[in-house]
Structure 1
């Protein structure tokens, strides 16, 4: 059995010089260089010993590593972290303003540059986990909401009220909060005197 004093290098190949040697209370020696290795360094060394490919480092490499192309739809489907809204999430580079970023936004920035202020990305394919820049379009927030499946989007596309009256022309009453109202239905709920159109017509008759 070899004595520890006969060992001139540690398991990683560092020489046991006086500057690189730490004597423990038990009398054993330890390598100073190895002691300062981080957990990430140790995992990287373990992957190299086992022949495991190194992890992708750039944003484009990390995106490509977890994207699968759907041959039928052409969607670049993200198979990594998904938030509760169904959008993919990825850690942004250190020089970006955000720590976490949506994967479709990251794919757009890499392909087309920064997203202009005041605009958002809309999925034309309606697949929120898709990262294909060709399936994305720059739109305003109002247009993005109108194209969605939320109740406000359905109301904005509604052409008739629940009683079948057309929401157009003189029968459409735009409200200050952005909602639309049917003039005939409002007249049924309130007395005719409260309707501005009725008050105008009554004054004209007098």
Structure 2
């Protein structure tokens, strides 16, 4: 709805997806600058990227993604407890 109101009509055979490099689907995001109309195939390719990310074994700081070291944030994304602890300690 936001896309239609602020950007324009969605072409036939297209659907709204987050624009690259965003790539990540945030169901609650409605910033028109983050959205674009893409084909179903492109939307599925982007979703495949999210699935690959969910299979990661280590975070970007090389902490292992174990059940004990990860949690889901309010958006449903896995977060590293060790990184959060280090971030909190720096504050």
Query: What TM-score results when the alignment is normalised by the length of structure 2?
Result: 0.43
For CA contacts below 8 A with separation 6 or more, give which structure has more relative contact order: 2
Query: What TM-score results when the alignment is normalised by the length of structure 1?
Result: 0.21
